[in-house]
Amino acid sequence: MRKLLNQELPRLDLQSFKEHPKNSLVLILDDVRSLNNVGSAFRTADAFLLEKIYLCGITGKPPHREINKTALGATESVNWEYAENAGEVLLGLRQQQYEIVLIEQTDVSVKLMDFQPCPENKYALVFGNEVFGVNESLLPLAQHYLEIPQYGTKHSLNISVSVGIVVWSMLEKMGKL
């Protein structure tokens, strides 16, 4: 047994990535303060061929040294857009037939493992501020509210971890992995 060299891994070049069909998920990062979290979301979006990332509110945007440090070039491959108002982005995505999924602990949240996405549908996954979560004004705009069950003393995970868990779970359940 041996580790594979980077050149042995089946990776797309930048042009092939741009042309390759994408999975029907978009990420919305609303008021995410940590530029490292933003960069990590880009890297996850690249790894799983996501359609796009929307950076909203105070969320930092490329080019930025701190984003680039964790994105490792994914800001060049993943489509992204900045919008001041996440609510307007969600309304626009709803008009494009995306189902809006807030990753947040609410009184009606469904545990991630109990949610079954439809493989034919398009989903917009909304992640909020590291301290305050998803802005309450966005709650009425969503069709689904998911939470990652946690059993320790803390009540939240780092956004970069949450993005990875939720994206992998959604794509696995949709048969896209």
Its domain, for residue 97, covers 20-173
In a domain, 7, yes or no: no
In a domain, 9, yes or no: no
Residue ranges for the chain with pLDDT beneath 70: none
In a domain, 4, yes or no: no
CB neighbours (10 Å) of residue 106?
15
Cβ neighbours of residue 105 under 8 Å, at least 6 residues apart?
133, 147, 155
Q: What is the DSSP letter of 126?
A: E
Residue 147's pLDDT is what?
97
Which residues face 4 on adjacent strands?
none
| DSSP SS3 for 61 | coil
In a domain, 13, yes or no: no
Q: Does the global pTM surpass 0.75?
A: yes
Tell me how many domains the chain contains. 1
In a domain, 12, yes or no: no
Tens digits of residue pLDDT in 121-149: 999 999 999 999 999 999 999 999 999 99
CATH code, 87: 3.40.1280.10
In a domain, 44, yes or no: yes
Tens digits of residue pLDDT in 61-82: 999 999 999 999 999 999 999 9
